[in-house]
Amino acid sequence: MINQILKDNNFKFNKAYGQNFIFDKNFLKSIVDMVATKDDEVLEIGAGAGTLTSMLAGSTKKVVSYEIDNNLQPILNEALKDYPNAQVIFKDIMKVQMSEIEGNFQGDYIMVANLPYYITTPIIFKFLENAKHLKSMSIMVQLEVAERLTAKPNTKDYGAITPAIDYRANAKIIKRVGRHMFTPAPNVDSAIVKIDFVPNKFDILDTHTMDETIKALFAMRRKTISNNLKSHFGLSQESIQTICNNTNILPTTRGETLDTQTIVNLSNEIFKIKNM
């Protein structure tokens, strides 16, 4: 049905928006069953042809979907005509204030999104740093990105985004998705990552300092934490030595080897030093 609607409207896939749609209803239903319940209010990013949107609307309380491509409007009007609890807003969500986004919901909500590569990291950080009522993010991303989001310390995939997520939430890959499931088929496989937010997961004195500590540690991967912290925070060598002593970390350690708890410990010591 959706394929026919696309043909009737002479729709052409836009590479600039990273458009790759999934039409398999059984597959989409399996995703919805894993990530949403009937009482959930859902934020969807990228309605596409409305296949996942309609499945979500049929299984949850409410769906608000942001779609950047206005050419999809007649297609979505047709695809969602039987779902009064589904609303599509034709805006670039990266340009929308968080207060406006969260104003669409009565309280807590979940996110479900099939994210193109170019917008994955900006979207994640926008919501990590600014959302106040988001319970979980279930995002379909390129497999290599999924592996970065859930990586362990001292591995090639471990980067700044990993502890940035981990100190706020629990993230895991819940399903791998072959490239053949998409139309048009991309060049790589994908995976669905579920990120469940956990309030006060770690005892952090100041989240801004924590975010800055993560940025500092991963700014230049091959440099030691001593060099990275010194250049980022303008700390003296004496202060860095004190911080390392208090956290039982060698100044010659590299940031990519540190787990989230250790980074939290560093951040707290940096905050204390800078606020003495």
Answer whether residue 122 shows pLDDT above 90.
Answer: yes
Same domain, 235 and 190: no
Residue span of the structural domain in which 173 resides: 2-197
Is 52 a residue whose pLDDT tops 60?
yes
142 with 245, same domain?
Answer: no
Side-by-side strand order, sheet with 169-177? 86-89, 62-66, 41-45, 109-114, 134-142, 190-197, 169-177
**192 DSSP β-pair partners:** 140, 175
Residue range 28-44: mean pLDDT, rounded: 95
Statement to judge: residues 119 and 13 lie in one domain? yes
Structural domains in the chain (count): 2
CATH number of the domain where residue 218 is located:
1.10.8.100
**Residue 216 and residue 178 in one domain:** no
Residue 153's pLDDT band (boundaries 50, 70, 90)?
A: very high
166 and 259 share one domain: no
Residue 79 pLDDT > 90: no
Residue 202 lies in a domain: no
Q: Find out whether 149 and 115 touch, Cβ atoms under 8 Å.
A: no
Same domain assignment for residues 165 and 216: no
Environment class of 139 (CB within 10 Å of its CB; exposed 0-12, middle 13-18, buried 19+): buried
pLDDT the model gives residue 195 = 97
| Alpha-carbon span 197 to 203, nearest angstrom | 15
Q: What is the pTM of this model?
A: 0.89
CATH of the domain at 35: 3.40.50.150
Which bin fits 132, alpha (ψ -120 to 50), beta or left (φ > 0)? Answer: alpha
Domain boundary pick from 132, 166, 197:
197
pLDDT surpasses 80 at 269: yes
Average pLDDT over residues 69-90: 92
What are the C-alpha distances in Å from 49 to residues 11, 21, 87, 222, 242? 10, 7, 13, 44, 56
Shared-domain flag, residues 186 and 239: no
Residues 231 and 269 reside in one and the same domain: yes
Alpha-carbon Rg for the chain in angstroms: 21
pLDDT of residue 12: 56
Q: Does residue 14 carry a pLDDT above 70?
A: no
In a domain, 55, yes or no: yes
Question: 181 and 215: one domain?
Answer: no
Same domain, 125 and 236: no
Answer with the one of 173, 197, 221 that is the final residue of a domain: 197
Largest CA distance in the chain: 70
Q: What is the pLDDT of residue 118?
A: 81
pLDDT single digits (tens) 174-188: 999 888 877 666 778
Residue 4 confidence (pLDDT) above 90:
no
- Among 14-23, 152-161, 233-242, the minimum mean pLDDT is found in 14-23
Residues 225 and 96 in one domain: no
pLDDT for residue 45 is more than 90? yes
Residue 154 clears pLDDT 90, i.e. is over it = yes
